[in-house]
């Protein structure tokens, strides 16, 4: 009897997800915890595992469909045992036992021994299979039709059909046929050597990975391989468009089978036309819809003010350079960001209003006694803000290690919704890309966000009136003016700057 598998809870506050890919087909045999669907929820991509082992009898959702938590996604006929081989013989043995017993007794006594023989000796099938096995090798060349007919009748219990690997070395198709349909489907899906991030990227740019040749280690498909297909398709599309202007029918018909057999391969989105020229229409991804909704919510609710300032990080950079090799020997990349996170977390401890949120409906200010720093990361799929929990309690080495781990999770797409929750303050690092100052959007319901620009050398007038080149880090602090006044924001930013300009204070900070 088929069991209906429903979409489980995907995390706090997540009510639905978009189906990116259905990982199984009807007829596939799945194991417990094997992935059924890949879903995009909020800002995370998750794989929905199967709660039971068995055979997929129906798929109730399709790609690009939005599925609510609790909705049925597939139907699976649970397997009788843990292994497929023993489960198969037990089913047929049960079927003949009740039926042949009454009718066969009066008229055909020989049938009883025949039925009893396979039932009593499933462990040692050699005597029984000897008869069926002989016809199989008789026609090894047209093996494809021969094994197909025996398999449904009774060779299912006669699992010794794997004995037919004897003729199989000549050609691969017989082996695939003998293995059964489920094996063929899993073979075709698993044959593509590409990680989840590459599969996702290929879907987003509309590339069919079965047509991509991998150049990575062991033939794995890399991002560059996918981009090469996109570039090649663009070139083919341009070449096909030029002659099409003069003679549309012949060139279009010749180009059609190659370029349109996999329709979206040549570009991102669906090709179309507006009043001014060619365009591409692309369905908005769930992550982009989430970002758009969050930005609109912040812009509509938060009266934002921005303070700009600079921090002299000359001493910090010298300190970092002298220590980075020690960290590298332990597998930790020491950048300026761990110092910045520690400075912000320590300053937040002394300025609890910056770490709070406001509840206008109930006319309350909610002070957070924990400090979780969100780090805005620019990814191929959009802006993702994973959260570094209890950042104020971490040492700089701890922050550096946790930051590296979080970054690798985000780059590979291997993070959960929980990694994005619970932030109290956000840091956005624009300096890695370029630019100095900006006006960042507050990550609602937080009340402040700090944007870091690219550090650059500037002439600075020192206390003794001398002018020296100093390494200056541009800082842009945006805050919710409903709760945070300009003086409060300035004091907070001054504390952050003081920690960055004297990095040794961070080691002794209270």
Residues belonging to the active site = 481
Give the torsion through C-alpha atoms of 488, 423, 338, 412, to 10 deg. -150
> Residue 3 in contact with residue 54, Cβ under 8 Å?
yes
> Residue 469 in contact with residue 458, Cβ under 8 Å?
yes
> Residue 397 in contact with residue 327, Cβ under 8 Å?
yes
> Residue 316 in contact with residue 339, Cβ under 8 Å?
yes
Helix/strand/coil for 392: helix
**Plot region of 189 (φ>0 → left; ψ -120 to 50 → alpha; else → beta):** alpha
Q: Measure Cα distances from 386 to 18, 152, 276 in Å.
A: 20, 52, 41
Helix/strand/coil for 319: helix
Query: Among candidates 243, 262, 246, which has minimal Cα distance to 254?
Result: 243
Count of Cβ atoms closer than 10 Å to residue 313 Cβ: 22
**Plot region of 33 (φ>0 → left; ψ -120 to 50 → alpha; else → beta):** left
Residue with tokens 């599925």: 67
Q: Which residues contact 349 (CB under 8 A, 6 or more apart)?
A: 355, 371, 392
Q: Which one-letter DSSP state was computed for residue 99?
A: T
Q: Which residues contact 239 (CB under 8 A, 6 or more apart)?
A: none
Q: Which residues contact 426 (CB under 8 A, 6 or more apart)?
A: 373, 374, 375, 376, 385, 442, 443, 446, 448, 449, 450
């Amino acid at each position: 009897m088929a069991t209906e598998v429903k979409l489980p809870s995907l995390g706090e506050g997540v009510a639905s997800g978009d189906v990116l890919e259905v990982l199984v087909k009807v007829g596939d045999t799945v194991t417990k915890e094997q992935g059924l669907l890949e879903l995009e929820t909020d800002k995370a991509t998750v794989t929905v595992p199967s709660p039971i082992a068995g055979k997929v009898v129906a798929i109730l959702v399709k790609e690009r469909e939005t599925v609510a938590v609790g909705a049925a996604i597939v139907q699976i006929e649970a397997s009788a045992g843990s292994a497929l081989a023993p489960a198969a013989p037990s089913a047929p043995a049960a079927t003949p036992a009740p039926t042949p017993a009454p009718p066969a007794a009066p008229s055909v006594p020989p049938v009883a021994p025949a039925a009893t023989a396979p039932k009593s000796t499933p462990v040692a099938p050699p005597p029984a299979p000897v008869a069926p096995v002989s016809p199989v090798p008789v026609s090894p060349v047209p093996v494809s039709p021969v094994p197909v007919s025996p398999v449904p009748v009774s060779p299912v219990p006669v699992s010794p059909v794997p004995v037919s690997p004897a003729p199989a070395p000549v050609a691969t198709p017989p082996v695939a046929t003998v293995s059964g349909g489920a094996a063929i489907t899993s073979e075709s899906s698993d044959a593509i050597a590409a990680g989840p991030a590459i599969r996702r990227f290929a879907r987003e740019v509309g590339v069919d990975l079965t047509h991509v040749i991998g150049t990575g280690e062991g033939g794995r498909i890399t991002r560059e391989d996918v981009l090469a297909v996109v570039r090649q398709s663009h070139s083919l599309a341009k070449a096909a468009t030029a002659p099409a202007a003069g003679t549309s029918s012949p060139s279009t018909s010749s180009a059609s089978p190659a370029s349109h057999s996999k329709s979206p391969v040549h570009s991102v989105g669906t090709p179309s036309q507006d009043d001014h020229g060619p365009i591409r229409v692309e369905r908005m991804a769930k992550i982009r819809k989430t970002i758009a909704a969050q930005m609109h919510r912040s812009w509509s609710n938060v009266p934002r003010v921005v303070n700009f300032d600079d921090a002299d990080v000359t001493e910090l950079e010298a300190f970092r350079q002298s220590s980075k090799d020690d960290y590298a020997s332990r597998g930790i990349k020491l950048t300026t960001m761990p110092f910045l996170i520690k400075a912000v977390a320590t300053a937040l401890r002394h300025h609890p209003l910056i770490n709070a949120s406001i509840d206008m409906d109930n006319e309350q200010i909610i002070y957070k006694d924990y400090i979780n720093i969100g780090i805005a990361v620019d990814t191929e799929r959009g802006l993702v803000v994973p959260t570094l929990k209890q950042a104020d309690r971490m040492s700089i080495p701890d922050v550096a290690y946790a930051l590296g781990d979080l970054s690798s999770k985000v780059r590979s797409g291997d993070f959960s919704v929980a990694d994005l929750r619970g932030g109290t303050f956000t840091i956005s690092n624009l300096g890695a890309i370029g630019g100095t100052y900006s006006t960042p959007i507050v990550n609602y319901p937080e009340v402040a966000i700090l944007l870091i620009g690219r550090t650059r050398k500037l002439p600075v007038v020192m206390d003794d009136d001398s002018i020296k080149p100093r390494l200056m880090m541009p800082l842009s602090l945006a805050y919710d003016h409903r709760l945070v006044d300009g003086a409060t924001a300035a004091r907070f930013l001054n504390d952050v700057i003081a920690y960055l300009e004297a990095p040794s204070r961070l080691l002794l900070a209270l």
